[in-house]
Amino acid sequence: MSRFKAVIFDLDGVITDTAHYHYLAWKQLAESQGVHFDHAFNENLKGIDRMGSLDLILASSSRTYTPEEKLALADTKNLHYQELIATMSSKDLLPGAVEALDAVRRAGLRIGLASVSKNAFTVLGRLGITDKFDYVVDAATIARGKPDPEIFLKAARELGVAPADCLGVEDAVAGVAAIKSAGMFALGIGHPFVLTEADVVITSLKEFNLAAY
């Protein structure tokens, strides 16, 4: 028996890796605005929502932008990203992802998804795993992105589970901070020296063991 009643997963970098598609779309957008964009810059965007990421990129631009111009640029990036993810399928699931979801289900726990991606529903559909979740937070309904705990708190509320009874799974520093701020147990996917706020860190969901947390 697990001490938790629900597990709330992030999507990108945990269940699937759309980071490369985001990178390509942001790189094209940044360079169209005269901003140099590389993998090091891209690391700063990890776990940050679309408009927050855009603000970080445009901060390196020599010009200023109106709110309307920012929205147009964000839409341009998103359209390019949607074209890229249209090629996704179940082969893009990360190792151990389905097994972890199935293990949580067998344990009788609720399963939620807390991704700041407004394309999460599309990605889940392409991966063929929409029905494995009891509740998926619609990122369009979230006012504050990670590291604010809002998205995890909403997932817990809709699942009918107290935050203290939830295990959150994240690969980003901002995401782990959001989980801890929500009062949940944080399982990090990545490196312990990066995800220093996580309660436990594993390298991938291949190492997921619900009984160990």
Give the residue numbers annotated as catalytic, written as ranges.
10, 12
Binding-site residue positions: 10-12, 26, 45-50, 53, 77, 115-119, 146, 170-171
Both tokens of 59, joined, read 């901060």
Beta-carbon count within 10 A of 175 CB: 33
Q: Which residues are annotated as a binding site for Mg(2+)?
A: 10, 12, 170-171
- Three-state secondary structure string covering 5-41: CEEEECCECCCECCHHHHHHHHHHHHHHCCCCCCHHH
Q: CA Rg, the chain, in Å?
A: 17
- b/e 43-75 (16+ beta carbons within 10 angstroms → b): eebbbbbbeebbebbbeeeeeeeeeeeeeebbe
Annotated binding site for substrate: 10-12, 26, 45-50, 53, 77, 115-119, 146
